[in-house]
Amino acid sequence: MSRKYFGTDGVRGRVGDNPITPDFVMRLGFAAGKVLASDTSGLAAGENPVVLIGKDTRISGYMLEAALQAGLCAAGVDVRLVGPMPTPAVAYLTRALRLQAGVVISASHNPFEDNGIKFFSATGAKLPDATELAIEALVDEPMETMPSRGLGRVKRIEDAAARYIEFCKSTFPFDRDLRGLRIVLDCAHGATYHVAPHVLHELGAEVIPIGNHPDGFNINRDCGATHTTAMNTAVRRHRADFGIALDGDGDRLMMADADGTIFDGDQLVYAIARHRSEGGSLKGGVVGTLMTNLGMEHALGRLNIPFARAKVGDRYVLELLQQKGWQLGGETSGHVLCLDKHTTGDGIISALQVLHALRDSGTSLGEYTADLKLYPQVLLNVRVAKGFDLEHAAVRQACDDAESALGKDGRIVLRASGTEPLIRVMVESTCPDQSRLQAEHIAQAVRQAAP
């Protein structure tokens, strides 16, 4: 079945435009309550299922939180509120508190005008496609509110941040610390602003926080994992050892060395994989995506580490990891999954795994990842109408022409964004000029074919 509302990371869009409206979100909450709480096998007689709601720091979060909890309560579901909290924190708390589901109100790395809703199961994992389709099937049906005796109640969890801080710290070896390190931490004015600095500080680091004053409108604005110039500048200005940049909901990560050099998700996954391989703790191999740099695949091969590609989206990385029984994977964009530490991607925990590797090796990020030579990639975004046909004859011909020109030394990925009305054109080869030329050729074909 095709999806009507859900993308690769929940339901997302511009606030005020369908589907990110109070009316829709209330109906979504009702539908999700019916589906996610349908299994009452672990509940006592008369006990309501419980769903946890967290959000990032967008101004629209207040409105959507109220609508979501109204829909859930109407479906006979109790609600637990934690306020601004990173997406991976909601996944952890849902599992730790033995709740039936978790919901995050966030548009991740998008600007404040956007927002979204994403769900976690009782195990702290993102919902499978079948469950999201089941929710979609109920969203447009009439709401049949439970009788008053069956309505849900709402309570706030006051110690949620402290619980999550301790969980993050527990993923770093007890016999290691971060003493002597000066770290710039960019929280993107997002959901990690009140937790990430405490994690690093309590592990011994001198923390220089930036992007930690959210006002409802500045989330991801010229900061965080999608705008690393702020981290780069602060690292050099404060003579820091490392920089860590998170995105608005805390599941994405970029890092910097002392000279301000930026390291993306591929390089960070490589550092973790190398460290675990050298220590004998790497289980299986590494999962990347169609966008993972070819240089990463080759570098892992030189370490005899198996590599596999999933569709773009951390949910698909997770699915392939589970299928293979592996534990480590990620995306170039900075989603890193360490399934021996958490059930989902977590920017704070992933940063700690990289810092563990660097503490053990006594090297910089640049030194530790020197064997990874990234091939030049050109990524172009072309705005199109929803439902654009990627199999359009002119577009396919442009791709075929580009593949012939690149030969075995290049790679093309053409895909629709799961969160925005964009076609993403990626061309990778050993020659930057050739990559740019062929990417522009394909992008122009898409523009001309777009209605």
> Considering only CA atoms, which of 62, 77, 64, 63 is closest in space to residue 31?
77
- Spatial CA neighbour of 183 closest among 151, 207, 166: 207
pLDDT at 315: 87
What span, in angstroms and rounded, lies between the C-alpha atoms of 1 and 11?
16
- Residue indicated by tokens 């994405």: 252
When computed from its CA atoms, the radius of gyration of the chain, rounded to whole angstroms, is 22
The pLDDT value given to residue 15: 97
For the segment 304-329, the average pLDDT, to the nearest whole number, is 95
pTM of the model: 0.90
| DSSP tag of 239 | T
pLDDT of residue 387: 75
Measured in whole angstroms, how far is the alpha carbon of residue 52 from the centre of its chain? 19
Predicted confidence band of residue 7 (pLDDT cuts 50, 70, 90) = confident
In this structure, what token pair is assigned to residue 350? 């992933």
Distance set, CA 343 to CA 41, 71, 92, 321, 336 (Å): 23, 27, 8, 11, 11
Rounded to whole angstroms, the Cα distance separating 328 from 311 reads 16
Report which listed range, 45-49, 156-160, 419-423, is most confident: 156-160
Q: What is the mean pLDDT of residues 318-329?
A: 96
Residue 226 is predicted with a pLDDT of: 95
Q: What is the pLDDT of residue 402?
A: 92
> Quick one: pLDDT at residue 410?
84
Mean predicted confidence (pLDDT) in 117-142: 89
| Average pLDDT of the residues in 185-197 | 98
User: Residue 128 pLDDT more than 90?
Assistant: no
Nearest C-alpha neighbor of 74 from the set 126, 25, 21: 25
Q: Rounded mean pLDDT of 336-340?
A: 97
pLDDT at res. 2:
63
pLDDT confidence of residue 130: 84
**Confidence band, pLDDT 50/70/90 cuts, at residue 213:** very high
Using CA atoms, how far apart are residues 396 and 384, in angstroms rounded to an integer? 16
Q: DSSP characters for 324-336?
A: HT--EEE-TTS-E
Residue numbers annotated as active site? 108
Beta bridge partners of 255: 244, 263
* CA nearest to 112, candidates 27, 194, 264, 222: 222
State the burial class of residue 46 (Cβ atoms within 10 Å of its Cβ: 0-12, 13-18, 19+): exposed
Kindly tell me if the per-residue pLDDT of 1 is higher than 60: no
For residue 220, what are its two tokens? Answer: 């991801």
